[in-house]
Amino acid sequence: MVEIFADLHVHIGRSEKGKPIKITGARSLNFANIAKECVDRKGIQMVGIIDCASPYVIEDIEDFLRNR
């Protein structure tokens, strides 16, 4: 059995361009910051982004993957 550390319920507060995604979310909760926190500090291997249907979040994810 393989162990995977995951957080399957993450909300994004803002897009990289500052567009609001979830009004109650912190401005620093953008996709890049969440991904960095998961990998660098928490060792999380899988993240479920609740707001991933937002066009702004999709754009951020695509930009993030393109620039990695």
Pairwise pLDDT comparison (66 vs 26), residue with the higher score: 66
Q: pLDDT by residue (tens digit) across 16-53?
A: 999 999 877 788 889 999 999 998 989 999 999 888 88
What's the pLDDT at 54? 92
pLDDT at 15 over 80: yes
pLDDT at 60 over 90: yes
Residue 22 CB contacts under 8 Å (≥ 6 apart), including other chains: 11, 12, 13, 51
**In contact, 61 and 31? CB cutoff 8 Å:** yes
Which pTM does this prediction carry? 0.77
**In whole angstroms, how large is the CA radius of gyration of the chain?**
12
What residue ranges do the domains of the chain occupy? 6-66
Q: Which among 61, 63, 66, 65 has a CA at the least distance from the CA of 51?
A: 61
